Amino acid sequence: MKLKNLTIITVLSAFSLIIYVLESEIPPIVPIPGVKLGLANVITLFAMSTIGVYNAFIVLMIKIFLGSLFTGTVVSFAYSFFGGMFCFIAEWLMHKIVSHEQLWAISITGAIFHNIGQIAVATVLLGTEKIIWYLAVLIPVAIITGAFTGVCTSYTLKAVEKTNLLR
Amino acid sequence: MTTNKKLVIIFLAVFLICVGIVFALGKIQPEEKIAVISVDGEVYGEVDLSEDQSFDIKTERGTNKILIENGDIRITEATCPDKLCIRHEGLHNKYDTIVCLPNKLIIEYKNSAGIDAVAGR
């Protein structure tokens, strides 16, 4: 692997972990479990747009494994892993269909599927499929937070392009 | 239509459908006010909400203190880290649930429970 890619992966992983850990310290605003801003997805999208899908996947895996080591239990690892995988695959497919002009749409799709992944885990762990109805609440929230993180990523990308840091 | 517009319409449609579902389900009230409490996917017990009472549910993962008064059921204390179950204030409609994820506790009305189906009864 090129040294440049390795360095960028490392830096992005560090950012991703910091964002993830800080975000998990914020007390929930809404009395609904599992609702969060999902800012770590900014890093995933940023990575996908700059260093490519394979390298972005590495960044995501580092965040999931180390992030769960830092903040959670085996259970939270399961939620994080499946949420992250569903999100990544959805974003990857979406990014093949839609260009990077519509980063906000890729982000929303990722957010929606992150929630679907987590509900899937919850269905298995809690032993009842009724929790799937919860998606009717989670999806609208995902659309809003996904749009927000997508816009954040777009601005970040524009700012970084101006600096020639990644050329 | 540009891709942008198509996407906005799709997401808006999904958004509105979900909000519609939540609204519609939220209007339905249960036939009988009996709450079913389950831990880890298995039924722990049933409670009739017409009598005021309070009790603790102690499980491997922690304790939740249940209060029933005026036909409502709430969790008043819990050992879980996020305390979201305490903030959720009672069962407002047939499909409402009070969940304590860390303690794997679910409280819902009797006939809307998925527990019976899963347990094969």
ipTM of predicted complex: 0.81
pLDDT per residue over A81-124, tens digit each? 999 999 999 999 999 888 777 899 999 999 999 999 999 998 88
- Give the model's pLDDT for residue B117: 40
Q: Mutating which of A132, A139, A148 best tests the B interface, going by the most B Cβ atoms within 10 A?
A: A139
Contacts of A50 (CB under 8 A, 6+ apart): A8, A157, A160, A166
Query: Which residues make beta-bridge pairs with B100?
Result: B105
Nearest by CB to residue B7, choosing from A102, A129, A133, is: A102
pLDDT band at A31 (very low <50, low <70, confident <90, very high): low
Tell me the whole-structure pTM to 2 decimals.
0.76
- Give the model's pLDDT for residue B115: 42
The nearest CA of chain A is from the CA of B51 a distance in Å of 27
Nearest by CB to residue B19, choosing from A112, A122, A140, is: A140
- Give the model's pLDDT for residue A32: 66
Instruction: Return d(Cα B65, Cα B76) in angstroms, integer.
Output: 6
Residues B82-100 have a mean pLDDT of 84
Are the Cβ atoms of B7 and A143 closer than 8 angstroms?
no
- Give the model's pLDDT for residue A55: 93
- Give the model's pLDDT for residue B114: 47
pLDDT per residue over A118-164, tens digit each? 999 988 887 777 778 888 889 999 999 999 999 999 999 989 988 87
Q: Quick one: angle between helices A53-71 and A74-97, nearest 10?
A: 160
- Give the model's pLDDT for residue A167: 58
Question: Side-chain half-sphere of B60: how many Cα atoms within 13 Å?
Answer: 3
